[in-house]
Amino acid sequence: MALALCLRTAASRRLAVSSATPSFVTPCASHQTCPSRRHSTTDAETSPPPPTTDDDDDDEERYLPPWSTAQPRNTSSKAFARFRQHVNPLSRRFQMPADLPQQWPHSDFDNVNLPLFLDIGCAKGGFLLELVGRRHGGREKEAKDDDYMNLSKDLFEDTTSDWLPSEMNYLGLEIRPGVSQYAQARVEKRGLNGNLSFVGCNANVDLGRLLTLYQESADAANEGDNRPAFVSIQFPDPHFKKAHNKRRVVTPALVATLAQFMKEGDVVFLQSDILDALEAMRERFVEEDGERYFDEWADPNGAKDDQVYGMSNPLGVPTEREVSVLKQGLPIYRTLFKRNGVTFDS
């Protein structure tokens, strides 16, 4: 009787299992693949994608350069003045040409026939704002800049007239998008529109295009006069790691572009508070195209305190970084090159 009871119990269990299984589920053959419960194929996935049209701009933002005027920032936001300290200039997005106003440079400068002061890696623009403000006036300075402005006058004698023509335009280039927009907003606050402009771009991508547009905008009578007469590259990102040295801003191509557009006697001024960074920039100007088209200038007053690369600031207008370093009693390394008379060979 016990054996019959066990057999009856087992049979009832099999019956319960079979009745719990839905009758519409068919078992998969051994050679078939059962659909996964994690993913069910839909008609949308199996059907071909719809044809693209010129109006299809789903991925438009992927192809906008990081400085695109189609991505305006809220200048009233507190976050507007906070920026990334470093970017990779070799990344795909920073290899894209910058967006410029359709009428550039007429859109930014009142007189495009003037020679150009070019500051590559201008950061928030404090140096150019102070330089242009001293030379061409403007509205009252921003309160937060007072310490920098006062210290710059205490530490340096203004010698801009020894190096710069009385009338110039001033252009700052900055690779970090938010920084270049912030600098341009300061131009408007200081009332320096028409003389000073900042462009967000990668100088190693856009410099030739910018200088070509600027030169071609001149009147026929002034052709060639509106060239970069003074170029400054001050305290660039040093990119300390050996693997990152290729990211440095001064490249052989940049030196060749400057040589192409500058005239004999025009100046390139380099400075940094990091000796290796200064020597890396200088090396580009004493080899290949740099050696052919530029001559290193020897300061007749000699090096300050016999410091290597210890020449004085030729303009007497420091950058904000420069003031900060000098307040700490740390050295700054400088050198200067002049364009010689060798005709550029393209």
As a three-state string, the secondary structure of the chain is: CHHHHHHHHHHHHHHHHHHHCCCCCCCCCCCCCCCCCCCCCCHHHHCCCCCCCCCCCCCHHHHCCCCCCCCCCCCCCHHHHCCCCCCCCCCHHHHCCCCCCCCCCCCCECCCCCCEEEEECCCCCHHHHHHHHHHHCCCCCCHHHHHHHHHHHHHCCCCHHHCCCCCCEEEEEECCHHHHHHHHHHHHHHCCCECEEEEECCHHHHHHHHHHHHHHCCCHHHCCCCCEEEEEEECCCCCCCHHHHHHCCCCHHHHHHHHHHCCCCCEEEEEECCHHHHHHHHHHHCCHHHHHHEEECCCCCCCHHHCCCECCCCCCCCCHHHHHHHHCCCCCEEEEEEECCCCCCC
CA atoms within a 13 Å half-sphere pointing along the CA-CB vector of 233: 26
237 is catalytic: yes
Q: What pLDDT was estimated at residue 33?
A: 44
Tens of pLDDT, residues 71-96 = 545 555 545 445 556 788 888 889 99
Note the pLDDT of residue 149: 64
225, 237, 295, 299: the active-site residue: 237
Q: Which two tokens stand for residue 272?
A: 């940094």
Write out residues in the chain with pLDDT < 50, as ranges.
Answer: 1, 3-5, 7, 15-60, 70, 72, 78, 80-81
pLDDT of residue 137: 83
Output the pLDDT for position 331: 94
pLDDT of 299 reads 79
Q: What is the model's pLDDT at position 74?
A: 55
**Residue 332 burial class via C-beta count within 10 angstroms: exposed 0-12, middle 13-18, buried 19 and up:** buried
What pLDDT score does 244 carry?
Answer: 72
pLDDT at 174: 95
Sheet of strand 267-272: strand arrangement: 196-200, 169-174, 116-120, 228-234, 267-272, 333-339, 294-296
Model confidence over 244-271: pLDDT tens digits? 778 788 999 999 999 999 999 999 999 9
Give the pLDDT confidence score for residue 88 in this predicted structure: 87
